[in-house]
Amino acid sequence: MSVDAATVRRIAHLARIAVTDDEVPHLQGELNAILAFVEQLSEVDVEGVEPMTSVTPMDMKKRADAVNDGEIADQIVANAPAPENHFFLVPKVVE
Q: Is residue 86 part of a domain?
A: no
**Domain-embedded: residue 17:** yes
Amino acid found at 34 = I
Residue 30 vs residues 4, 12, 19, 57, 63: alpha-carbon distances, Å: 12, 13, 14, 35, 43
φ, ψ dihedrals at 83, nearest 5°: -80, 150
81 inside domain: no
pLDDT of 30: 95
21 occurs within a structural domain: yes
What residues make up the domain containing 30? 5-42
pLDDT in tens, the chain (95 residues): 689 999 999 999 999 999 999 999 999 999 999 999 999 998 999 899 888 878 887 777 888 888 887 888 888 888 888 888 888 888 888 87
pTM of the model: 0.51
Is 9 a member of any domain? yes
Total domains in the chain come to 1
Please indicate, yes or no, if residue 13 is contained in any of the structural domains. yes
Note whether residue 26 is domain-resident.
yes
Residue 55's Cβ-side half-sphere holds a number of Cα atoms within 13 Å equal to 0
Task: Determine, yes or no, domain membership for 62.
Answer: no
**DSSP β-bridge partners for residue 87:** 84
